[in-house]
C-alpha cells in the first residue's frame, strides 16, 4: 500500500485521555470532522514541538492541563486532497474537569461502548492497539466519503 505524498501533508497530534477502561472523547462541533467523536488534538504549529502542541490543544479544546502522557502510535491518513500524519498519545494524568469548548463537547465512554457509528471509520481498526497499550504504526487510505479503502496497521516493538 502506497501513500500519495505529493498531496499536502499536515502533522497533527491526537490524545485520548484514559481512566482505566474509560476514555474521554470530544464531539467535534466545527470544521473538519464535525459530528464525530474523537480524541483531542490538532495541527502542530510552526516552531512548536509535538508535546507543546499536544498540551496546548488539550487545554484549548477541553480546559484540562495535561501532565503526563505517552505516545502510542503514528498513523498516516491519506484523504482525497491531503495526507495527515497523526501522532497518537494516551493521556495518563491531568488537572481539572473537562469543559465544553467552541470546538468540542466532552463525554466519557467505556471502551466497550464507544460510538463507532459517530467516529472515523478507521477508529475500530486501530483502537484495539491503543486499548492494549501497544505501540503501533499504520497507513490508511480513505475515499471521498471518509470510508477506509485500504489499511495497514502493525504493532511495533519499541516505545516511541
Is the pTM here over 0.85, yes or no? yes
**Cα(30)–Cα(61) distance, integer angstroms:** 12
Q: What pLDDT, in 10s, does the model give residues 5-49? A: 899 999 999 999 999 999 999 999 998 889 999 999 999 999 999
Domain boundaries, the chain: 9-156
Annotation: CATH topology of 9-156: Nucleoside Triphosphate Pyrophosphohydrolase (3.90.79)
List pLDDT tens digits, range 59-104.
999 999 999 999 999 999 999 999 999 999 999 999 999 999 999 9
The reported pLDDT for the residue numbered 158 is: 80
Dist CA 151 CA 78 (whole Å)? 10
| pLDDT at position 45 | 94
Write out pLDDT tens, residues 109-143: 999 999 999 999 999 999 999 999 999 999 999 99
Amino acid at each position: 500500500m502506497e501513500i500519495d505524498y505529493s498531496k499536502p501533508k499536515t502533522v497533527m497530534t491526537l490524545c485520548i485521555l484514559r481512566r482505566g477502561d474509560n476514555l474521554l472523547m470530544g464531539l467535534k462541533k466545527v470544521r473538519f470532522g464535525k459530528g464525530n467523536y474523537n480524541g483531542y488534538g490538532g495541527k502542530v504549529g510552526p516552531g512548536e514541538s509535538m508535546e507543546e502542541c499536544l498540551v496546548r490543544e488539550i487545554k484549548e479544546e477541553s480546559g484540562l492541563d495535561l501532565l503526563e502522557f505517552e505516545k502510542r502510535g503514528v498513523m498516516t491518513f491519506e484523504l482525497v486532497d491531503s495526507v495527515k500524519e497523526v501522532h497518537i498519545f494516551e493521556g495518563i494524568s491531568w488537572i481539572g474537569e473537562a469543559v465544553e469548548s467552541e470546538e468540542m463537547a466532552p463525554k466519557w465512554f467505556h471502551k466497550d461502548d464507544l460510538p463507532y457509528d459517530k467516529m472515523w471509520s478507521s477508529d475500530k481498526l486501530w483502537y484495539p492497539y491503543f486499548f492494549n497499550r501497544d505501540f503501533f504504526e499504520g497507513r490508511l487510505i480513505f475515499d471521498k466519503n471518509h470510508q477506509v479503502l485500504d489499511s495497514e496497521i502493525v504493532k511495533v516493538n519499541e516505545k516511541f
